[in-house]
Structure 1
Amino acid sequence: MALALRYYIVVLLLSMVSQGLCHCNFSKIQIGTVRTGREIAGQPEWEVTVINTCNCLQKHVTLSCGGFAPVKRVEPWLLLPQGRTCLMIKGEALPAGASAKFSYAGEPYIFRPIGSSVDRSCKNYENKNL
């Protein structure tokens, strides 16, 4: 009985580890925001860094941005508002380990990743290397 329980725990842990290694999705996008120290139109400027922590490239990275109203406009090729969401870098690929940065001035805003797409060949590559 104890051997069966140990076997079950080992299988459970291995499946959890392999799930964490092979699933690239928007949850692997990390976002950090720091104040630059500058002010524009009386509002603080913020620099946002979006990092792909997955080992595969991700395209069409989408962030939540409902209610985001900066006084300093973000270049649309970096952050394109689309209703309550924003598309990063025109939907282009954000390679593994790469980051994209943009700055804005206004009230602090908490961006959250809400979507992305990963090339299927990368998912297959990851599964072969487990």
Structure 2
Amino acid sequence: MALALKYFVVFLLLSMVSQGLCRCSYKNLQIGTVRTGREIAGQPEWTVSVINTCNCLQKHVTLTCAGFAPVKLVEPWLLLSHGLTCLLIKGEALPAGASAQFSYAGEPYIFRPVGSAVDPSCKDSL
């Protein structure tokens, strides 16, 4: 019984410690795309929103970009291509609950988050 109690206490302490650490990652980024109704060079224009649903600041957000070939390029300070991935807002911080938007014209593209750096000083209350 005493051994089981010790294991329970150790488990409880480890759980509390891990809960205190920020559990956020790039998986806490939601991406939505809507058609604006405009056309540029015969292609539809799209607005993409990247929302940080984490309680922590995230920076160096990278998205999939393989095969992304818009006819209206995105401003490089908003979305900078690095081969198969793109860097959002020059790697700057995306605060908790904040969003970043950019527009492009071309074939619809499904962006997916593939990386970010979570503020190490953040204590997530999830």
**Band of TM-score, shorter chain:** 0.7 to 0.9
Find the aligned partners of 1:33 and 1:66 in 2 and give their Cα distance. Answer: 17
Aligned-pair distance for 1:86? 0.0
Find the aligned partners of 1:94 and 1:22 in 2 and give their Cα distance. Answer: 15
**TM, length-normalised to structure 1:** 0.80
**TM, length-normalised to structure 2:** 0.82
Find the aligned partners of 1:22 and 1:59 in 2 and give their Cα distance. Answer: 14
Runs of 4+ in 1 over 2 A off after TM superposition: none
SS state of the match for residue 90, structure 1?
helix
Deviations 1:19-40 (Å, cap 9, x if unpaired)? 6x94110000000000000000
Find the aligned partners of 2:102 and 2:27 in 1 and give their Cα distance. Answer: 20
Aligned-pair distance for 1:69? 0.2
**Partner residue in 1 for 2:101:** 101
**Partner residue in 2 for 1:27:** 27
| RMSD of aligned alpha carbons | 2.0
Find the aligned partners of 2:118 and 2:37 in 1 and give their Cα distance. Answer: 36
Structure 1 gap segments, 5+ residues each:
1-10
Q: How does 1:21-100 map to 2 (within 5 A)?
A: 22-100=22-100
Aligned-pair distance for 1:53? 0.3
Letter in 2 for 1:64: T
Aligned-pair distance for 1:120? 1.1
**Partner residue in 2 for 1:5:** none
More helix by share: 1
Letter in 1 for 2:77: W
Structure 2 gap segments, 5+ residues each:
1-10
Number of corresponding residues: 111
